[in-house]
Amino acid sequence: MSLFSAVEMAPRDPILGLNEAFNADTRPTKVNLGVGVYYNEEGRIPLLRAVQEAEKARLAANSPRGYLPIEGIAAYDTAVQKMLFGDGSALIAEGRVVTTQALGGTGALKIGADFLKRLLPDAVVAISDPSWENHRALFQSAGFPVQNYRYYEAASHGVNRAGMLEDLRALPPRSIVVLHACCHNPTGVDLDIVDWKAILEVLREREHVPFLDIAYQGFGDGIEQDAEAVRLFAESGLEFFVSSSFSKSFSLYGERVGALSIVTSSKDEAARVLSQVKRVIRTNYSNPPTHGASIVSSVLNSPELRAMWETELGEMRERIRSMRLAMVEQLATLGAKRDFGFVARQRGMFSYSGLSADQVERLRNEFGIYAVSTGRICVAALNNHNIGSVTQAIAQVL
């Protein structure tokens, strides 16, 4: 009998399945709003100028490709810390933050989850309802039971604040709480500073371990503004985890550039934590790849390239913002039977559009417009060429 005869077919990834259906669609007017990628006005994934410059320099230097240290490029790790905690961060100065390069934000979550499993083997992990679908799977694969806390409130297109706090209070003490630091995926609905302060107090009271996931820093209101929650936690004196990613902000999806940062209580703790995180990395993939992190590190550590990147990041952020505003305006002009003003209040690449699964299906069948059945659309896939047809189609299916 074959070793594999009893292997069952795993369920298809719903979003990748959507891409396959989109690719097979022959209608020239088709639009893919199901993806989680930023496209420029021409409908392409940009290769940022700052990245091109750094790549040219790297190529010209004929740099050898030896193994990196287990924790990655030191100058990269330091640059990540400054982006997250701020240039003048006391935590950094006190040596209390451990940062290791990771294979994207996903890799950072996985390393963090594996390390936490050793520290808190019996903990429960709580994620927002809804959340990025990989959060549940990642923490489950590290061996944790995963449950939801209330988050999105469909009626108000906002946050169920009371429900969220109540659920966080009801978790067993020392639970691990995964929070989207900005640009919530999939809803686009973020917490404000008042919410963050209230959440922080519950986490402190219940001794929960915060795990902040920040995959879209710079896509919301700006690099510094989007780090507001991270900075608040940094000042709180709590210990916490941060997974961060440059996939979106550098448009380097396939290079897998992310980081795991862990805030500890002392320099001595930090050294011991780093040694254990390195063991986790060592037994997973030994050490991280060189290219992406060396590009990001060159850009962040060169004043000229950094300024160039910040401009380009600002352009991406502004383009998304203008697409949100255009969508709201056009739907109002078309006399849509619903007010879409909430779309302009959401942040990041995504919008929970409020469209039902039936409406999403009609968009796809009748108009070749692909969205996730939950109603999630990627606003960063809209542009001035396709937005008119998208809003007209939405107005028709309402």
For the annotated catalytic residues, the residue numbers are 132, 213, 248
105 interacts with ligand PMP by CB under 6 A:
yes
101 interacts with ligand PMP by CB under 6 A:
no
CB of 253 to ligand PMP, least distance (A): 6
Which residue stretch of 24-32, 73-81, 100-108, 294-302 sits at the interface with ligand PMP (rule: CB under 6 A)? 100-108
In whole angstroms, give the CA distance from residue 207 to residue 173.
6
Binds ligand PMP (CB under 6 A): choice among 32, 100, 101, 245? 245
**Smaller CB separation from ligand PMP, 53 or 213:** 213
106 interacts with ligand PMP by CB under 6 A:
yes
Which residue stretch of 1-9, 57-65, 101-109, 299-307 sits at the interface with ligand PMP (rule: CB under 6 A)? 101-109
Q: Contacts with ligand PMP: how many residues (CB under 6 A)?
A: 12
Q: Residues 52, 180, 153, 205: what is their CA dihedral angle, to the nearest 10 degrees?
A: -170
**Smaller CB separation from ligand PMP, 126 or 394:** 126
72 interacts with ligand PMP by CB under 6 A:
no
User: Beta strands 158-159 and 176-180: pairing type?
Assistant: unpaired
**Smaller CB separation from ligand PMP, 139 or 367:** 139
Give backbone dihedrals phi and psi of 371, rounded to 5 degrees, phi first.
Answer: -135, 165
CB 260 within 8 A of CB 111: yes
**Smaller CB separation from ligand PMP, 37 or 238:** 37
Q: What is the 3-state secondary structure (H, E, C) of 35-83?
A: CCCCCCCCCCCCCCHHHHHHHHHHHHCCCCCCCCCCCCCHHHHHHHHHH
**Smaller CB separation from ligand PMP, 112 or 258:** 258
Which residue stretch of 8-16, 72-80, 102-110, 139-147 sits at the interface with ligand PMP (rule: CB under 6 A)? 102-110
Compute the radius of gyration of the chain from its Cα atoms: 21
Closest listed residue to residue 206, CA positions, set 126, 279, 128:
126
Q: How far, rounded to the nearest angstrom, does the alpha carbon of residue 135 sit from its chain's CA centroid?
A: 10
Within 24-43, which residues bind ligand PMP (CB under 6 A)? 36
CB of 180 to ligand PMP, least distance (A): 6
**Smaller CB separation from ligand PMP, 35 or 393:** 35
Give backbone dihedrals phi and psi of 178, rounded to 5 degrees, phi first.
Answer: -85, 125
**Smaller CB separation from ligand PMP, 96 or 376:** 376
CB of 258 to ligand PMP, least distance (A): 5
Cα torsion angle, 298, 302, 308, 309, sign: positive
> x-or-dash pattern for ligand PMP, window 315-334, by CB under 6 A?
--------------------
Residue in the shown chain whose Cβ atom is closest to ligand PMP: 104
Map tokens 């078309």 to a residue.
334
Within 116-135, which residues bind ligand PMP (CB under 6 A)? 132
104 interacts with ligand PMP by CB under 6 A:
yes
The encoded tokens of residue 54 equal 């750094």
Map tokens 């009748």 to a residue.
366
Binds ligand PMP (CB under 6 A): choice among 258, 288, 368, 375? 258
CB of 215 to ligand PMP, least distance (A): 4
375 interacts with ligand PMP by CB under 6 A:
no
**Smaller CB separation from ligand PMP, 114 or 359:** 114
In sequence order, the 6+-apart residues with CB closer than 8 A to the CB of 258 are 101, 102, 103, 104, 105, 106, 107, 108, 243, 244, 245, 246, 247
Q: What is the crossing angle of helices 49-60 and 291-301, to 10°?
A: 110
In whole angstroms, give the CA distance from residue 193 to residue 37.
27
CA dist list (Å): 368 to 30, 267, 377 = 4, 56, 14
Within 166-225, which residues bind ligand PMP (CB under 6 A)? 180, 185, 213, 215
Binding-site ranges for ligand PMP (CB under 6 A): 36, 104-106, 132, 180, 185, 213, 215, 245, 247, 258
